[in-house]
Amino acid sequence: MEYLPNILFAIILIAGIGYFANNVKKLVRNIKLGQDIDVSDNKSQRWKNMTMIALGQTKMVKRPIAGFLHVIVYVGFIIINIEVLEIIIDGLFGTHRIGLKVLPESVYGFLIGAFEVLAILVLVAVIVFWLRRNVIKLKRFLSAEMKGWPKSDGNIILYFEVVLMCLFLIMNATDTTFQAMDSGNVTSQFIAPWFSALPESTLHIIERSAWWLHIVGILIFLNYLYFSKHLHILLAFPNTYYGKLTPKGQFPNLEAVTKEVKMMMDPNVDPFAAPPEGAEAAVPAKFGASDVQDLSWLNLLNAYTCTECGRCTSECPANQTGKKLSPRKIMMDTRDRLEEVGKNIDANKGEFKDDGKQLLGDYITNEELWACTTCNACVEACPVSIDPLNIIMQMRQYLVMEQSAAPMELNNMMTNIENNGAPWPYNQMDRLNWVNE
């Protein structure tokens, strides 16, 4: 019976970490459903981007109020959870505040004191975030795609953080040994008087209950991430590392199409000659993308990393003029379809069974895709280097090259380029007539 709490703690810890590892395995499997893409270039710049954007939060603070509050929550939550190491050691080996035995009292007190100050700052920031979402009701949190689960998810994570911070402070406030030390109880000393009328045995029960709930809550939070937009806490790092390095206005060319155009423009090439051996292999099986398996694995990583903050949509000129396009919805739809495909694979023993659905049409409409002005405002605004425009352009490419489903205006332009060498419906011989006017 003496070791029962330690055994119970070990079981809970293994179960929590095991379930998380299983979900991570599914996550990696789903991302690998995408097409391969080479992003191994310029590693020094990629490390710099990850350090500045994911770790340093440089793009978050471009909106100072939200950025500053996010930095507080981010830094506070990460640093406070360093104490989880102490909790795990105590839980497994039956010790109590093992940090006091391996660190000088002054150092331990400084660390816990810093954690307590950060816990209060996190609580303040989280309350402000809740007010912005539910009382002030900022416009970017009220879009059509933010109804139902996305809205609830945003609030649930805030409640999680409030509960975890409160449990941490109550655990310290009711620990009589820690309070007697009078070092590190920077804020918990003001909470301790609330429990001063209780007998020591009751205080011990409250402290142990807060301790257990705190570690169990952290494990629940860890496993909740997979189902939440807050998966970006983990994925922001690889996503910013593999983010686009080329100029934002530079679009990738299809090698097969480029070769075809070069052959058409080369006067030495016989247009009626048979293609050279191996040329057919260079032609992709499908031009563009109509479903998540056609996108690159980086596009799918982008989808899972989306924070649903709405900065992309709030900067989108098409969205601002009332069009249906929302870059945030593009990413959310991609993630939802990818999850659906993943569940399909799980249900069919590792094989994808055609469900008659696809990303284009069932999730994202043609109207949304053609509303995009390709201005890159969404890419510039994203705080974690997500590129919704790349997905939009791949799906447009599919519509044009596979389905010939471009809007009439675009078809007219392409016809003019083919016939006249310019987007305008004027004969090449008349191109300079405006000079005479």
Chain segment 53-81, per-residue pLDDT in tens:
999 999 999 999 889 999 999 888 788 87
- Reference 173, options 147, 200, 151, 203; nearest CA is 203
In sequence order, the 6+-apart residues with CB closer than 8 A to the CB of 141 are 132, 133, 151, 154, 310
pLDDT of residue 282: 60
CA distance linking residue 241 with residue 249, whole number of Å: 20
CA distance linking residue 264 with residue 271, whole number of Å: 7
Residue 157: pLDDT over 60: yes
- Reference 248, options 41, 398, 393, 368; nearest CA is 393
Residue 274: pLDDT over 70: no
Q: What single-letter DSSP state applies at residue 53? A: I
Can you tell me the mean pLDDT for 126-151? 92
Chain segment 287-308, per-residue pLDDT in tens:
899 999 999 999 999 999 999 9
Which class for 213: exposed (0-12), middle (13-18), buried (19 or more C-beta within 10 A)? middle
Q: What does the CA dihedral 335, 56, 152, 342 come to, rounded to 10 degrees?
A: 20
CA distance linking residue 336 with residue 329, whole number of Å: 10
Tokens of residue 156, six digits? 């649930």
Chain segment 208-266, per-residue pLDDT in tens:
999 999 999 999 999 999 999 999 999 999 999 999 998 888 888 877 778 777 777 77
Mean pLDDT taken over the chain: 90
pLDDT of residue 423: 85
DSSP of 157-210:
HHHHHHHHHHHHHHHHHT-HHHHHHTSS-TTHHHHGGGGTTS-HHHHHHHHHHH
Chain segment 106-128, per-residue pLDDT in tens:
899 999 999 999 999 999 999 99
Which amino acid, 275? P
> Sorting pLDDT into bands at 50, 70 and 90, what band is 273?
low
Tokens of residue 415, six digits? 């016809």
